[in-house]
Every structure is written in structure tokens, then in C-alpha cells.
Amino acid sequence: MLRILLVILISISVSFSGFSQKELPWNLRKYDFVKLHFGMSLGFNQTDAVIKNSDNFFALDSVYSVECKGMPGFNINIVSNFNINKYIGIRFLPGLNFGQRNMYYVMYDGVKFYEKIMQIESTYLDFPLLFQLKSARLNNFRAYMIGGFSYKFDLSSQKKIPDDEKPKIRLNRNVYNYEIGVGTDFFLQYFKFALELKFVVGINNIVAYDNTQYTESIGRMNSKMIMFSFLFEGSDSDGFVFKKLFHRRKG
């Protein structure tokens, strides 16, 4: 999935940057001089985790291995962008992330080995605060880098586990992350459109220990997420991305 997203982002960026070498009329000429912009972000994610075995892993008599596999999800965020100047900005993107991790345990019951799969869903309230470093515009194209921190609150972590899914581990509600990514801006006639690839790496241990071998086998588990998003930002500070388009149709 990561390779596909990288190929898409690079291909589109190269195509538009090549096209931008031609002298074209600039769209949204005053965009960088307006301090505050609003918009929305829609995208896809792959929610995963990095697992480190506990110190007493080899002393356990039931768990022989544990792995995590990321699954696809989606995210929706509100974009609030403050321009410090034409090259530096601060972004706050509150929203929701929906994702799933599959935990694969190889177990031994004293007679045979078998595999136990846990499907762990997460619904995050997402609060990223990011700095944006922007390049100079090439006509209606621009590249940028982002980096910062985020706090996520997992709404699904403490919900009741159905009997047919037990045993199943729980995750901590609070997840702290650092984020880094790249993106490309395309200045259209009525709004700015962007493609963005972002890596979200958890800082804290997200396992909720319950005195079972399923959690005792894990020394540390850090969240990991890859996000590919489509961003739409308005041309002025009132937050209505398609305001001019709507007004034109009415006229």
C-alpha cells in the first residue's frame, strides 16, 4: 500500500511540476497573504503497530509468537491553517480516524499449535498540530513538508467485547504520536487542492495489560499509521471552500 501511495504522489507531482514550467495565469494570487484558511481533508490510512516481546516471553507456556498486521481504514479531518508567512504555516486538523489491526498469535495448548487472530478496531478522535514548510510557487503548483505531534483518543478501546470474540486484548485510550510527511498543493480557480502522505508514529505503549498471556507476551506496543489524504482549502478565511462557485451559479 505504501509503495502504491508513493507512486501516485510522485507521479502526479512530477506531471504537474512539468506542466508548471509553462508560464500560466496564477490562480488565487492573494492566497498566501490571507492569514487563516479553513477546509476539509478526506483520506485513507493503514493502521499498524510495532511490537516488542516482553522480557519473560520465553517463559510463557502458551504464546509462541505474536505479530500485528495493519489493515486499511479511512479518515476525515477539518483543516485550520494559519500562515505565519508565505513559506511557513501552522495547521490544526481535528477529526476522526477509523482503522483496524489484526493480531496474530501462535498458541500451544499442550497437544498442538494453533493460530488465534484478534481483530482490533479503533475509532480515534484525532488532534494533530503540525508545522508546514512550503516551497515557492511554480505557477499553480507547490510542494511542502509537514511535521509535528498529535493526540488521539480511542473511542473503541473500552467498548464491550462480544463473547464470540473473547479472549481479546484491549488498547489504551490515549495515544501520543509524532508526525512527518510531504505534500503537493494545486491552486485551482476557486480553491486549493492538495495531496498529502503522512507517517504517524506512536510514542507511548498502547497495551492495556490484563494479567493474561496475551498481554504478558508483549513488552511494548507502539501505534503506527500511514495516511494518504486529499485536502480542500478555501480561498479566503470564511471557511466555505466552494463559496465563489456557488455565488457564480446563482448569478
| β-bridge mates for residue 116, sequence order | 105
So where are the chain's domains? 2-9+42-250
Range 133-147 average pLDDT: 93
pLDDT at 100 over 90: yes
Give 2-9+42-250's CATH code, choosing from 3.10.560.10, 2.40.160.20, 3.40.1440.10, 3.90.1570.10: 2.40.160.20
C-alpha cell at 19: 506542466
Q: What is the pLDDT of residues 177-233, one digit of tens each?
A: 999 999 999 999 888 999 999 999 999 999 999 888 999 999 999 999 999 999 999
Q: How far apart (Å, rounded) are the C-alpha atoms in residues 139 and 165?
A: 55
* 175 backbone dihedrals φ, ψ, rounded to 5°: -130, 125
Q: How far apart (Å, rounded) are the C-alpha atoms in residues 95 and 75?
A: 7
pLDDT at 163 over 80: no
Please give the model's pTM, rounded to 2 decimal places: 0.80
pLDDT at 114 over 60: yes
Q: How far apart (Å, rounded) are the C-alpha atoms in residues 133 and 31?
A: 16
Q: Which residue has the cell 456557488?
A: 246
Identity of the residue numbered 139? N
Instruction: Calculate the CA dihedral of residues 33, 38, 40, 41 and round it to 10 degrees.
Output: 50
Residue 234: the pLDDT is: 82
Q: What is the pLDDT of residues 34-55, one digit of tens each?
A: 888 899 999 999 999 999 999 8
Residue 21: the pLDDT is: 52
